[in-house]
Amino acid sequence: MVKYLNTNDTNFNHNFNDLLFQNRNMENDVSSVVKGILKNVKNNGDQALFDYTEKFDNFLINNNTIQVNKQEIQDALSNCNDDTLKALKLSAKRITDFHIRHIPENDQMTDDIGVKLGIRWNAVEAAGIYVPGGKATYPSSVLMNAIPAKVAGVERIVMVVPSPNGYLNPLVLVAAYISGISEIYKIGGAQAIAALAYGTETVKSVDVITGPGNAYVAAAKKEVFGTVGIDMIAGPSEILVLADNKNDPSWVAIDLLSQAEHDEMSQSILITDNKAYADKVVDEMKKHLKNMPRADIARASWENHGYIIIVSDLNEAPALINEIAPEHLELAIEDCQKVLAKIKNAGSIFIGRHTPEAIGDYIAGPNHVLPTSGNARFSSGLSTLNFMKRTTLIECDAESLAKIGPSAMILAGEEGLDAHKKSIAIRLGKKE
Contact 293, 135 (CB under 8 A): no
The parent domain of residue 72 ranges over 27-230
Examine the domain organization and report whether 93 and 223 are in the same domain.
Answer: yes
* Residue 344 in domain: yes
pTM for this prediction: 0.93
Is residue 385 situated within a structural domain?
A: no
| pLDDT value at 27 more than 70 | no
Does residue 307 or residue 432 have the better pLDDT?
307
Q: Are residues 65 and 181 in the same domain?
A: yes
CA–CA separation, 6 and 94 (whole Å): 40
- How far is 200 from 211, CA to CA, in rounded Å? 20
Residue 391 included in any domain: no
What is the domain-level CATH number for residue 327? 3.40.50.1980
The answer as to whether 298 is a domain residue is yes
**Neighbour-count burial of 310, counting CB atoms closer than 10 A to its CB (0-12 exposed, 13-18 middle, 19+ buried):** buried
Q: Quick one: 182 and 325 in the same domain? A: no
Residue 4, classified by CB atoms within 10 Å of its CB into exposed (0-12), middle (13-18) or buried (19+), is middle
pLDDT of residue 28: 62
Instruction: State the number of CA atoms in the 13 A half-sphere of 296 facing the CB.
Output: 1
Of 213, 230, 247, the position where a domain reaches its end is: 230
What is the tens place of the pLDDT at every residue in 235-291? 889 999 999 999 999 999 999 999 999 989 999 999 999 999 999 999 999 999 999
**Residues 96 and 131 reside in one and the same domain:** yes
Residue 110 bridge partners (DSSP)? 116
Write down the pLDDT at residue 174: 97
Q: Are residues 56 and 126 in the same domain?
A: yes
Output the pLDDT for position 136.
Answer: 60
Vertex 164 angle, CA 199 and 258, to 5°? 105
Q: Please report whether residue 19 resides in a domain.
A: yes
Domain end residue (candidates: 230, 248, 263) = 230
When the pLDDT of each residue in the chain is averaged and rounded to a whole number, the result is 95
63, part of any domain: yes
User: Is 223 annotated as catalytic?
Assistant: no
Dist. CA 395–CA 397, nearest whole Å: 7
User: Has 288 been annotated as catalytic?
Assistant: no
Tell me whether residue 383 is in a domain: no
Active-site residue identified among 99, 262, 328, 368: 328
Taking the C-alpha atoms of residue 260 and residue 235, their distance in angstroms, rounded to an integer, is: 13
Indicate if 73 and 104 belong to the same structural domain: yes
Residues 201-227 have a mean pLDDT of: 95
Residue 422 lies in a domain: yes
- Order of strands, sheet of 388-395, starting from the edge strand that comes earlier in the sequence: 107-110, 116-123, 388-395
Q: Which of 189, 215, 230 is the last residue of a domain?
A: 230
Regarding whether 263 and 222 lie in a shared domain, the answer is no
245 and 137 within one domain? no
> 20 and 32 in one domain?
no
Q: Phi/psi at 116 (nearest 5 deg)?
A: -90, 125
Measured between alpha carbons, how far is 218 from 221 in angstroms, rounded to an integer?
A: 5
Order of strands across the sheet that contains 126-130: 183-185, 156-160, 126-130, 208-210, 229-230
| Overall average pLDDT of the 65-82 stretch | 96
Same domain, 169 and 287: no
| pLDDT value of residue 61 | 96
Q: What is the largest CA-CA distance in the chain?
A: 85
Structural domains of the chain, count: 3
Per annotation, catalytic residue among 238, 327, 330, 357: 327
Q: Does the structure show a pLDDT above 60 at 333?
A: yes
Same domain, 246 and 224: no
Mean pLDDT of 192-212: 97
Strand positions, DSSP E, 280-423? 307-310, 328-332, 348-351, 388-395
- 81 and 192 in a single domain? The answer is yes
